[in-house]
Structure 1
Amino acid sequence: MTDPLGQSQVIPYLAGLTRFGYRFTILSFDKPEKYALHKNEVENQIADFPITWKSITYHKNPPVLSGIYDLMLMKKFIRKAQKNEPFDMVHARTGIPALAALWMKKKFGTPFLNDIRGFWADERIDGGMWHMGNPVYKVLYHYFKSKEKECIEQADFNNCLTGSAQKEILSWKNIKGQPRPVSVISCSADVALFDPANIDPAIRNNFLHQLHINESDFIISYLGSIGGWYLTKEMMAFCKVLQDEIPNTVFLFISPGRHPEIREAAKAAGILESSIKIISARRKEVPVLLSLSSYSLFFIKPCYSKMASSPTKHGEIMAMGIPVITNAGVGDVKEIVLQNEAGYVLESLNGDEYRQVAEKLKDPNPFSAEKIRAAALRIYSLQSAIEAYHKVYRAILPGT
């Protein structure tokens, strides 16, 4: 819960669901350093709601054994809690939490909502965390794929983040009882926070001055951490092409860390050092910083597991009415962008496509900020997600 996604993609949903009469116990694994820094923030966030939070220290090492140990700790807490007040339902994400939820379903008969926030085992292969040449990881991969199948079969309801993932799951012939119930609820954005109407011009001007950016500059933003699934090298290659076409382009990285790596990647791509602006920002400052940009850029590694991904940043950027420059092969991003005229989608990450988009960016912005925000409200609003989860909860727990 002390990671940013816990505070933006878990607690707001649960807080909203409490108005329908639900009470929650959150069981999370937190890194000690993150827990120390953000414990009070989480407690303050849930203080006004019937939400209890139990944090257990996350163990990373030794590999495999640490995961088994964490699962044992989860089961120990659940056994104790069940004696005091049995749970009416368990809502768990994929991976180790889903194993605990499946155990609850079998041992206690607890109704189970299997929230497939990604193809967990495949993410570890595609992300280079597990290598199939290693016999241990090969066994782990097949074990978790078998448990993924079992969870889908045993769950009272399944949810995923994208229509692409839903279609894929329903195509799996080895799943008993197909078609299994699978809903789609995308990652939501705080559309009240990310609202261009709420931007304070004075604060905006202060950031322009602080970052040494001129109003006449053509600003491309990047929001979030770099590395991992985000293709920094390819983004910098695009930025170089764009700078060659539009010399007054400024690249604004709103990123929590790894700033030297951003500068090194830009330097390696041949981008002018003066055109790279990097800033860490508090959450409430992010919308103002985004508002400086004409477009926002993100390239994500297109691979099998990413069809199940819904980038939170996409909803936040669209809520600001800002068109994106992104790539195909990630969740429903391509369809959302094209259907809602919300930016440019590259089919391949190569020089020819970079130049084609750069040429288009030389022309006046053809996209409507109002239409882009309206699409974000329809697709990514927190309220829509809460209503959708309530519908799923009612399907599992009739009468609620």
Structure 2
Amino acid sequence: MKNKKQSSLFISYNGLTDPLGQSQILPYVIGLSKSGYEMSILSSEKRDRFKAKESEISSICKTHGIKWIPLFFHTSPPILAKYYDYISLKNKATNLYRENNYDIIHCRSFLAARIGAELKKKFNCKYLFDMRGFWVDERVDGGIWDLSSPFYRYAYKKYKKKEDYLVGYADGIVCLTEAGKIEIQKWKSYQPSVPITVIPCSADLELFSVVSEDEKILAKQLLGIKEGAFVLSYLGSLGTWYLLEEMLQLFNKIAEKYNEAVFLILTPDDPKIVYQSASKFGIDPSKLVITFAERKDVPIFMKASNVSVSFIKPAYSKIASSPTKLGELLSMGIPVICNQIGDVGLVLQQSGGGVLLPDFSNASYDFVIEQLPMLMELDSAEIRSNIYEYYSLDNAIKTYYHVYNKLLSS
């Protein structure tokens, strides 16, 4: 028997106990639940994080009337583990659909979309492909699939065909950037009658509040940084996509102009990665402050920043990316230096809160350094105000709500 409320099964290969699940999945689903939809989440959880966070996440879901169905994520044996996860999620989703007859299958990223397409084929339900990025091309651009290998060339062609099918069979598509939307509309597999909605990664505007001068002073004290020091900062992981050496090169040139410059790096990764790269450029280790903070404490430390930097590997797949950290930094009114990926250029133009690096040449670094006095004079409250609607969680939830309503009325 069909539920009184219209219902959605949200399928994600990311866990709710992952930091990403807590910042970029759960808030949207809570919002949709508050908007009147009966929400269920099928997720794939890492055992250590599940053990640490299961009680907290279960309580949040129960409070908001969300049914959470967690399965476990597997890492071994390689390749077969992913297939096992896929089969487990697919079988569970199929059984859940038979029990609940959902109105919408909301699929976060590629693997979940494969399941959503199969459910649509079997049960004729509405299937929403929430792309998050160009997953197949990210395998290549990130160096995970080496196309010089016959095996990975075969895999790339096979999965691009699957991507075409998933896009062409969707009842609705959500992507993170306008640049990504324009690109998808060029694909032969895309059906022009299918709506594509752009919903960038939201920022927690309450947590990432605008910086005050007192908070900046306190942050520097907590980090052991001199009050008058110029602080360049970086927030986040240092893995596949982030250009650590280029960011260190920029800092090295900044340190030539600002004698007491400090590079604050807030990362979960091993500090040795930074020190090893910094030694290539002769950077004094005492000028590096590398630490980790729990999410709730990130704004406390990042407010030591005069300017923040984020350089991401420029690649085809990155036109569909929306860096969460950009919204968090601009929400605090911290000016940023970025290279062009996705809609970053448009966001910086709209916010008036940063500079776009033309390329990674010395001339471009010099150009950016010339802009530093201007960046430090910017009004933090104005930067935040300019991007408030763009990164607002409430705005994103309203957009998802309209996407759901449009799907069910078609």
TM norm. shorter chain > 0.5: yes
Q: Contact 1:325 / 1:343 at 8 angstroms: preserved in 2?
A: yes
The residue type paired with residue 310 of structure 2 is F
CA–CA separation in structure 1 for the residues paired with 2:149 and 2:45: 28
Cα distance change on mapping 1:94 and 1:321 into 2, 3 Å: same
Secondary structure, aligned partner of 1:344: strand
Equivalence for 2:168: 153
Q: Contact 2:308 / 2:336 at 8 angstroms: preserved in 1?
A: yes
CA–CA separation in structure 1 for the residues paired with 2:108 and 2:213: 38
CA–CA separation in structure 2 for the residues paired with 1:363 and 1:162: 28
Cα distance change on mapping 1:364 and 1:175 into 2, 3 Å: closer
Aligned length in residues: 395
Spell out, residue by residue over 1:42-99, the C-alpha distance to the aligned partner (whole angstroms, 9 max, x if none): 2233231111212222123334322222121012212221232222111112221111
Matched, 1:324 2:336: yes
Measured after TM superposition, the shift of residue 283 of structure 1 is: 1.5
Spell out, residue by residue over 1:243-298, the C-alpha distance to the aligned partner (whole angstroms, 9 max, x if none): 11211111111112312212222222222211111221122211121211111111
Bigger shift: residues 231-240 or 210-219: 210-219
Secondary structure, aligned partner of 2:63: coil
Measured after TM superposition, the shift of residue 206 of structure 1 is: 5.0
Cα distance change on mapping 1:279 and 1:93 into 2, 3 Å: same
Equivalence for 2:142: 127
Equivalence for 2:183: 168
Matched, 1:16 2:28: no
Q: Contact 1:190 / 1:382 at 8 angstroms: preserved in 2?
A: yes
The residue type paired with residue 396 of structure 1 is L
Secondary structure, aligned partner of 2:69: strand
Equivalence for 1:39: 54
Spell out, residue by residue over 1:179-210, the C-alpha distance to the aligned partner (whole angstroms, 9 max, x if none): 5310100000000111126x794x76554233
Equivalence for 2:67: 52
Secondary structure, aligned partner of 1:77: helix
Equivalence for 1:358: 369
After TM superposition, where is structure 1 displaced by more than 6 Å over at least 4 residues in a row?
Answer: none
* Aligned equivalent of 1:191, options 198, 201, 205: 205
The residue type paired with residue 315 of structure 2 is C
Cα distance change on mapping 1:323 and 1:268 into 2, 3 Å: same
The residue type paired with residue 322 of structure 2 is S
Cα distance change on mapping 1:163 and 1:35 into 2, 3 Å: same
Measured after TM superposition, the shift of residue 359 of structure 1 is: 2.5
CA–CA separation in structure 2 for the residues paired with 1:82 and 1:200: 53
Secondary structure, aligned partner of 1:129: coil
CA–CA separation in structure 1 for the residues paired with 2:176 and 2:94: 30
* Aligned equivalent of 2:251, options 213, 224, 239: 239
The residue type paired with residue 333 of structure 1 is V
Q: Contact 1:170 / 1:179 at 8 angstroms: preserved in 2?
A: no
CA–CA separation in structure 1 for the residues paired with 2:190 and 2:247: 42
RMSD: 1.9
* Aligned equivalent of 2:229, options 188, 196, 217: 217
Secondary structure, aligned partner of 1:153: helix
Q: Contact 2:223 / 2:301 at 8 angstroms: preserved in 1?
A: no
Matched, 1:78 2:93: yes
Q: Contact 1:318 / 1:375 at 8 angstroms: preserved in 2?
A: no
Equivalent residues in 2 for 1:77-96, closer than 5 Å:
77-96=92-111
Structure 2, gaps ≥5 residues long: 1-15
Matched, 1:310 2:316: no
CA–CA separation in structure 2 for the residues paired with 1:67 and 1:138: 19
Measured after TM superposition, the shift of residue 327 of structure 1 is: 0.6
Cα distance change on mapping 1:36 and 1:63 into 2, 3 Å: same
Percent identical: 37
Measured after TM superposition, the shift of residue 35 of structure 1 is: 2.0
Q: Contact 2:106 / 2:116 at 8 angstroms: preserved in 1?
A: yes
Using the size of structure 1 for normalisation, the TM-score is 0.94
Measured after TM superposition, the shift of residue 176 of structure 1 is: 5.2
* Aligned equivalent of 1:287, options 299, 312, 323: 299
Equivalence for 2:5: none
CA–CA separation in structure 2 for the residues paired with 1:124 and 1:157: 24
Measured after TM superposition, the shift of residue 166 of structure 1 is: 0.3
Equivalence for 2:408: 397
CA–CA separation in structure 2 for the residues paired with 1:55 and 1:355: 50
CA–CA separation in structure 2 for the residues paired with 1:29 and 1:352: 46
Q: Contact 1:122 / 1:304 at 8 angstroms: preserved in 2?
A: yes
The residue type paired with residue 346 of structure 1 is L
Cα distance change on mapping 1:364 and 1:178 into 2, 3 Å: closer
Measured after TM superposition, the shift of residue 360 of structure 1 is: 2.4
Cα distance change on mapping 1:69 and 1:79 into 2, 3 Å: same
Cα distance change on mapping 1:350 and 1:42 into 2, 3 Å: farther
Q: Contact 2:354 / 2:375 at 8 angstroms: preserved in 1?
A: no
The residue type paired with residue 180 of structure 1 is V
CA–CA separation in structure 2 for the residues paired with 1:361 and 1:119: 34
Equivalence for 2:4: none
Q: Contact 2:350 / 2:386 at 8 angstroms: preserved in 1?
A: no
Bigger shift: residues 213-222 or 302-311: 213-222
Q: Contact 1:95 / 1:144 at 8 angstroms: preserved in 2?
A: no
Secondary structure, aligned partner of 1:196: coil
The residue type paired with residue 292 of structure 1 is A
CA–CA separation in structure 1 for the residues paired with 2:138 and 2:84: 22
CA–CA separation in structure 2 for the residues paired with 1:265 and 1:228: 15
